[in-house]
């Protein structure tokens, strides 16, 4: 199925405005497309202890899961930040994307200048440790 990456990036741009990023001052937005065509927005939410910070991608994913959407049912995600080249998800978010999304799911990455590129969940984390890795017996 064709996914409109530019529309999803536009929604991520709106989500970015909600970022709570008083420490890094680096605002990130994400938009996750579900199986019914609805969009779940996420932003980064920071913490004075730094470690509890939640990235925009995980906020969108956890929000959709909490709203009852099934892992593996999502169509695409877009993420945007104020970077020179399109933003790239952190390692923790890549691991969570592998857990909750199909390996072929498109990931649209952009910056606020309008540059963007597209990859897949599987290409972001080759050789991922996943649920199959636990099937050892």
* Residues near ligand THU (CB under 6 A): 21, 24, 26, 28, 44, 46, 53, 55-57, 79, 87, 89-90, 93
Q: Are 44 and 52 in contact (CB under 8 A)?
A: no
Q: Are 118 and 108 in contact (CB under 8 A)?
A: yes
Q: At closest approach, how far in Å is the CB of 10 from ligand THU?
A: 18
Element (H, E) at 41: strand 39-43
Is 72 strand, coil or helix?
coil
Instruction: Clarify whether 10 is annotated catalytic.
Output: no
Please, which residue, 57 or 106, has the CB nearer to ligand THU? 57
Q: At closest approach, how far in Å is the CB of 2 from ligand THU?
A: 24
What residues act catalytically? Answer: 57
């Amino acid at each position: 199925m064709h996914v409109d990456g530019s529309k999803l990036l536009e929604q991520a741009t709106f989500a970015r405005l909600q970022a709570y990023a008083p420490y890094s001052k680096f605002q990130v937005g994400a938009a996750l497309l579900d199986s019914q065509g609805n969009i779940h927005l996420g932003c980064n939410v920071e913490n004075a202890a730094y470690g509890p910070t939640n990235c925009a991608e995980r906020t969108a994913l956890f929000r959709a899961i909490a709203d009852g959407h099934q892992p593996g049912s999502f169509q695409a995600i877009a993420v945007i930040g104020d970077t020179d080249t399109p933003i790239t998800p952190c390692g923790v978010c890549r691991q969570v994307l592998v857990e909750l999304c199909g390996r072929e799911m498109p990931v649209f990455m952009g910056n606020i200048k309008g540059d963007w590129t597209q990859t897949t969940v599987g290409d972001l984390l080759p050789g991922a440790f996943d649920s199959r890795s636990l099937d050892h017996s």
